[in-house]
């Protein structure tokens, strides 16, 4: 791949990677302002999934208002498109517009998306209509690239529920390696019978709501939507006059290699991901003002993550606020890391963590989830965790930029 080394190298002065654009569509509405307002208002409510043949225990999700699901693009290169790629295009356009990157200036912008179930709903529609030919499951990155006018690399990452966490780390590395000055990164998921059915079969689907860290949690509950982020070399952003929201300061991967679906009870690799992300960001635990945990609502995940947080933050864990995003918008699977990154960025911008959904907290999850009111963010960084089947873990750190640079 061509690199940016030479007279146009944006890293000559500043090696930081900053966030200059955001876009979102979720059960909280369309747009970043609707997302933040929805979090402050207490999040969304699950609704019955409008699909036939849901003969399952759990039939609810945190759904995007169907009137806000774009009808286009309906197809790409002969492939009929379901909700995921259409939501992705809508959120991508928001993020690039927010960053001040108009159509016609995006040729060199790579697209890196975390997508797990992808176009599966279109496959289900076709099968229900008696059309047995297989259709492409992960076209979203190609669809977004074509829609925005990119002629750069288009990458789809499928690391299950940490897919867009991995996508963020890949995008970060692309800029650090001088392969691109700007990268559009994010995730998108639609509703599918296959996804809901799989978690019902595993006994990991909560029929009530998504209840991370609650003593009565019974699994997770999905949400659909798309979140997109524009990452940019700080010097490149400065040269074109873009004002960053925050910095994606560091990230790390690890793998349990323990079980196909269950996390390693020791939490060793979860701790490793958090520790190495903090080191990569060159911050200490004291610099972290809030954690957005993976926190799915599955019984073992939440206990393992709580204990791992104690190993990373020690005695400070009980005073460190956690914000349980999935209780607000559901588990958006492949898009979960992108939604968490976007939310961490908004927390830093507004200098607060919204109040959590009220729960009956499990004493085995000895962490602080402020529920009565929002709390001020009194440190410059937010740590985000994303985990997935197969023991795939990512952690990343979003941090303040210098006050004179911030929006």
How many C-beta atoms lie closer than 10 Å to residue 76's C-beta? 20
Residue 26 has pLDDT above 90, yes or no: yes
Report DSSP letters for 267-333, one per residue: -HHHHHHHHHHHHHHT--GGGEEEEE----S-HHHHHHHHHHHHHHHGGGGGGSBB--THHHH-B-G
User: What does the alpha-carbon distance between residue 275 and residue 314 come to, in Å, rounded to a whole number?
Assistant: 12
The pLDDT score that the predictor gives to residue 8 is: 59
Average pLDDT (36-47) is 98
Report the chain's mean pLDDT, rounded to a whole number.
94
CATH for the stretch 251-400: 3.40.47.10
Structure tokens at 303: 């206990």
The pLDDT score that the predictor gives to residue 389 is: 87
Of all residues in the chain, the percent with pLDDT exceeding 90 is 82
Residue 403 has pLDDT above 80, yes or no: no
Kindly report the CATH class assigned to 17-240: alpha beta
Label residue 7 by pLDDT band (50, 70, 90): low
pTM of the model: 0.96
The pLDDT score that the predictor gives to residue 10 is: 64
Residue entry with tokens 């977004």: 144
Sequence-distant (6+) residues with CB within 8 A of 220 are 199, 204, 205, 206, 210, 296, 297, 298, 326, 330, 331
Average pLDDT (375-403) is 94
The pLDDT score that the predictor gives to residue 12 is: 67
Average pLDDT (338-363) is 98
The closest of 151, 158, 165 to 136, measured between CA atoms, is 158
Per the model's pLDDT, the better-predicted residue between 206 and 125 turns out to be: 206
The pLDDT score that the predictor gives to residue 229 is: 98
Label residue 234 by pLDDT band (50, 70, 90): very high
Q: Structural domain boundaries of the chain?
A: 17-240, 251-400
Residue 118 has pLDDT above 90, yes or no: no
Burial of 402 (0-12, 13-18, 19+ CB in 10 A): exposed
The pLDDT score that the predictor gives to residue 124 is: 86
């Amino acid at each position: 791949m061509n690199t940016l080394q030479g007279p146009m190298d944006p890293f000559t002065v500043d090696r930081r990677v900053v966030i200059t654009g955001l876009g979102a569509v979720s059960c909280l509405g369309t747009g970043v302002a609707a997302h933040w307002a929805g979090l402050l208002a207490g999040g969304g409510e699950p609704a019955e999934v409008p699909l036939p043949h849901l003969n399952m225990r759990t039939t609810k999700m945190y759904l995007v208002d169907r009137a806000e699901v774009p009808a286009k693009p309906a197809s790409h290169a002969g492939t009929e498109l379901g909700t995921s790629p259409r939501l992705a295009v809508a959120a991508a356009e928001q993020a690039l517009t927010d960053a001040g990157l108009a159509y016609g200036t995006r040729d060199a912008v790579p697209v890196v998306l975390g997508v797990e179930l992808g176009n599966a709903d279109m496959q289900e529609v076709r099968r229900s209509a008696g059309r047995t030919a297989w259709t492409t499951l992960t076209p979203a990155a190609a669809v977004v690239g074509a829609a925005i006018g990119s002629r750069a690399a288009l990458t789809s990452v499928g690391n299950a529920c940490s897919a867009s966490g991995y996508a963020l780390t890949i995008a970060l590395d692309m800029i650090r390696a001088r392969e691109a000055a700007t990268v559009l990164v994010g995730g998108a998921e639609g509703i599918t019978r296959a996804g809901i059915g799989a978690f019902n079969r595993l006994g990991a689907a909560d029929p009530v709501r998504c209840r991370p860290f609650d003593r009565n949690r019974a699994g997770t509950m999905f949400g659909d939507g798309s979140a997109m982020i524009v990452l940019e070399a700080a010097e490149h952003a400065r040269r074109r006059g873009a004002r960053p929201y925050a910095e994606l300061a560091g990230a790390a991967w690890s793998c349990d290699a323990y079980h196909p679906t269950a996390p390693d009870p020791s939490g060793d690799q979860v701790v490793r991901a958090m520790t190495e992300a903090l080191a990569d960001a060159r911050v200490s635990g004291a610099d972290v003002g809030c954690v957005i945990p993976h926190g799915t609502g599955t019984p073992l995940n939440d206990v393992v993550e709580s204990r791992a947080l104690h190993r990373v933050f020690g005695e400070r864990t009980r005073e460190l606020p956690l914000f349980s995003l999935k209780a607000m918008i559901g588990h958006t699977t492949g898009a979960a890391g992108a939604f968490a990154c976007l939310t961490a960025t908004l927390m830093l911008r507004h200098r607060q963590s919204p109040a959590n959904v009220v729960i009956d907290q499990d004493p085995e999850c000895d962490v602080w989830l402020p529920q009565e009111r929002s709390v001020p963010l009194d440190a410059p960084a937010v740590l985000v965790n994303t985990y997935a089947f197969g023991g795939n873990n990512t952690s990343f750190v979003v941090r303040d930029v210098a006050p004179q640079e911030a929006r």
